[in-house]
Amino acid sequence: MTTTRIWEGDKEWDIYEAAKALQQGKLVAFPTETVYGLGANAYHEEAVLKVFQAKKRPQDNPLIVHIASEKDLDDLVEKPLPPFVQLLIEKFWPGPLTLVLKIKKCTSLVSAVTGGQNTVAVRMPSHPIALALLSAAKIPVAAPSANLSGRPSPTNCLHVLSDLQGRIDGIVDGGETCGIGLESTVLDCSSEQLSILRPGAVTAEQIEAVIHMPVSVFSSSATRNRNDVQVPRAPGMKYRHYAPKAPLDLVKGDVEQLSKKVGEWKQQGKKVGLLAVREFGAQITSADVFIACGENNCLSSYARELYRALRAFDDSPTTVDVIVVQAVEETGIGIAIMNRLSKAASSGFYMATNDSNEHSLH
């Protein structure tokens, strides 16, 4: 057991100490605008291996390298960068867009960061605490989300503590909940065919509008009709993710359809959880546990609160057998929301549709 320290993100001295700890090969969780990351010095082999152990993460799942300045790319990726990558950097960095680029031939990066692949995923976060920490550390920082593998990503300091207390050296507390709430968009720029390996706040349309090149989207949802890539090339996408202990029943439709679905499960004698926008809580009173997630017609609030809401079912004193979850429209960040929800729902559960009467718990 390690003692996990808490540093305060608004104190300069605390940032300095956390940065020193990172340099020395310690594991430090920190807030970003998407979710909390679990940082390790990307040049320090032991530190990088400790990240996989602390998270119980499979070693074939590579990590994103976080940087504070474009200059930091010099030791990481093949130069010169293609002009479209330069455009993306100018437009979206710092921010929630991760670029998968060809790795530099003689980089000092520890090979476990990339799982020995010839590409590296890089991102410059926009959260002021993340940028301050990375600038002070003066090293590239490999940082997966700061959760135990398979749990929803953490969007506040308490979530990190609940998964990793005693397993990591410290956490920089960012105070407020992470603004976006879902992990960054991962864009594979390493081949001619640009593709989004993981949808996030930056959408394919936004990217296409900047570079005027087509971008395909890998999507786990059957309802997407862009030219979807069938095989997930971000190794992380094949693992069970984002899921609370109870199975999810993802339901498309309005308050009546959600209410009907809750009723059907109740009739089967199940204890039912409901995850839906705040306004629906007052209208659907039959669920055993209601956890509010965002406001009606505001996808960004649903995204911001989703992981907190999923975690809340595991923390609730009432254990539910199934969680009925409100599906959202697949536009903008709704694509990323539905990607995470579909993955959570498909791990051990039949995803019911509105017009289907088939239900089974696996």
The label of the residue with tokens 């109740």 reads: 266
* 145 annotated as ligand-binding: yes
DSSP class of residue 189?
A: -
C-beta of 44 vs 198, nearer to ligand TXA:
198
The Cα 60–Cα 116 span in angstroms is: 9
Is residue 145 a contact point for Mg ion (CB under 5 A)?
yes
Q: Is 66 annotated as a binding residue?
A: yes
**Span of 43-51, 137-145, 252-260, 342-350 interacting with ligand TXA by CB under 6 A:** 137-145
User: Is position 15 an interface residue for ligand TXA (rule: CB under 6 A)?
Assistant: no
Q: How far apart are CA 172 and CA 175, in angstroms?
A: 9
Q: Is 149 in the site for Mg ion (CB under 5 A)?
A: no
Concatenate the DSSP letters of all residues of 226-284 into one string.
S---SS--SGGGGS--S--SS-EEEE-S-HHHHHHHHHHHHHTT--EEEEE-HHHHTT-
Q: Residue for token digits 């199975």?
A: 247
Q: How far apart are the first and last CA of the chain?
A: 35
Residue for token pair 């995470």: 340
The least CB distance from residue 137 to ligand TXA, in Å, is 15
State the minimum distance, in angstroms, from the CB of residue 153 to Mg ion.
Answer: 5
Distance CA 33, CA 41 (A): 20
Q: Around Cβ 31, how many Cβ atoms within 10 Å? A: 30
Site mask, ligand TXA, residues 154-193, x = CB under 6 A? -----------------------------xx-x-------
Please identify, using beta-carbon distances, which residue of 29 and 287 lies nearer to ligand TXA.
Answer: 29
151 is in an annotated binding site: no
The binding site for L-threonine comprises: 34, 66, 123, 143, 184
User: Using CB under 6 A as the criterion, which residues of the chain lie in contact with ligand TXA when the complex forms?
Assistant: 32, 34-35, 37, 61-64, 98, 100, 114, 117, 119-121, 123, 125, 143-145, 183-184, 186, 197-198, 233-237
Question: Which residue positions form the known binding site?
Answer: 34, 57, 61, 66, 119, 123, 143, 145, 153, 184, 198, 242
Chain residues that interact with Mg ion, rule: CB under 5 A: 145
